[in-house]
Amino acid sequence: MSFYDKLKFNSDGLIPAIIQEQSTGRVVMMAWMNRASIETTIATGKTHFWSRSRQKFWMKGESSGHTQTVKDIAFDCDGDTLLIQVEQIGAACHEGYKSCFFRSVEESGDGFKTTEPQLETPEQIYGKK
Amino acid sequence: MSFYDKLKFNSDGLIPAIIQEQSTGRVVMMAWMNRASIETTIATGKTHFWSRSRQKFWMKGESSGHTQTVKDIAFDCDGDTLLIQVEQIGAACHEGYKSCFFRSVEESGDGFKTTEPQLETPEQIYGKK
């Protein structure tokens, strides 16, 4: 049986993909894939996603150079989420952090704090406009 | 500023929450939260979700005893995904695996394989019907 037969895409034909840096276990981002982006991810060994805001197929790192080399693709019991292990080049977050999850809720209330260093500024990553 | 102001819920009022076992880094599941389930999660220190299929508010482990004690709640740059570190009691997956992501795509094609041991059967967890 093909693993595609186990997947449940949502009404927009999309499935969320959690991206984890294999060497550190750090969850670096979550993005959405359609069937074509999964096929391209498997064929090329680099993560490809579907941008809901831009309605566009994209390869992670196509602008920044911060590509993700795929090491493993897992799927959950319900077949509605992917967990992809990668080797991450540079910052995964477009704001220059290793992980998009660089802020956490403070224990004392509903404020938040930054929990990791900014590796680069967006201007350094994408160049000044 | 409240961290709630940073969150973007979808058109159903939901946000996906990735659950990671803090001690091992294993991503054990992803489920959906609404604002009430986030507030209850913070107030009680135990994860609470919104079931899209059952249209029901639930505490993880309410049937199985496999609760999750919250250690950290992070949110991503776009404010549309949560990453929650937990202490996981027993199997997170209702199929008896530590993680719901117990199957991976095989390198050779589009087949898949089971990558971790089943700790309990569903009958052991939920009792025979």
A76 annotated as a binding-site residue: yes
| Tens-digit pLDDT profile for residues B80-125 | 999 999 999 999 999 999 999 999 999 776 799 999 999 999 999 8
Q: Check pLDDT > 80 for residue A129.
A: no
User: In terms of CA atoms, which chain A residue is nearest residue B99?
Assistant: A76
User: In terms of CA atoms, which chain A residue is nearest residue B20?
Assistant: A27
How far apart are the C-alpha atoms of B3 and A125, rounded to whole Å? Answer: 27
Write out the residue range of the structural domain in which residue B79 sits.
3-126
Q: Check pLDDT > 60 for residue A128.
A: no
What ipTM was assigned to the predicted interfaces of this complex? Answer: 0.95
Is the distance from CB of A71 to CB of A86 less than 8 angstroms? yes
Distance between B88 CA and the closest CA of chain A, angstroms: 17
Is residue A74 classed as helix, strand or coil in its secondary structure?
A: strand
Region A21-41 average pLDDT: 96
Q: The tokens 């319900």 sit on which residue?
A: A78
How far apart are the C-alpha atoms of A37 and A14, rounded to whole Å? Answer: 10
Averaged pLDDT of chain A: 93
A72 annotated as a binding-site residue: no
Find the range with the poorest average confidence among A26-30, B50-54, B81-85, B89-93: B50-54
What percentage of chain B reaches a pLDDT higher than 90?
Answer: 84
Looking at the DSSP bridge assignments, the partners of residue B113 are: B104
pLDDT tier at B2 (50, 70, 90 boundaries)? confident
Q: Check pLDDT > 90 for residue A41.
A: yes
Structure confidence at residue A121 (pLDDT)? 92
Q: How many domains does chain A have?
A: 1
Q: Do B101 and A76 touch (CB under 8 A)?
A: yes
User: In terms of CA atoms, which chain A residue is nearest residue B83?
Assistant: A101
Region B23-40 average pLDDT: 96
Q: Do A74 and B111 touch (CB under 8 A)?
A: no
Nearest beta carbon to residue B77 from set A18, A74, A95: A95
What φ, ψ does residue B45 adopt, rounded to 5°?
75, 10
Is A80 part of any domain?
Answer: yes
| H or E segment to which residue B68 belongs | strand B68-75
Region A91-112 average pLDDT: 92
CA distances from A56 to A13, B74, B112 (A): 13, 27, 29
Q: Which residues of B touch A (CB under 8 A)?
A: 1-4, 6, 16, 18, 20, 24-27, 29-30, 42, 72-78, 81, 83, 93-95, 97, 100-105, 110-112, 115
Q: Check pLDDT > 60 for residue B30.
A: yes
Structure confidence at residue B128 (pLDDT)? 56
Contacts of A2 in chain B (CB under 8 A): 110-111
Q: Check pLDDT > 50 for residue B129.
A: no
Region B30-53 average pLDDT: 94
What percentage of chain A reaches a pLDDT higher than 70?
Answer: 97
Strands B82-88 and B15-21: parallel
Domain CATH for A72 = 3.10.20.810
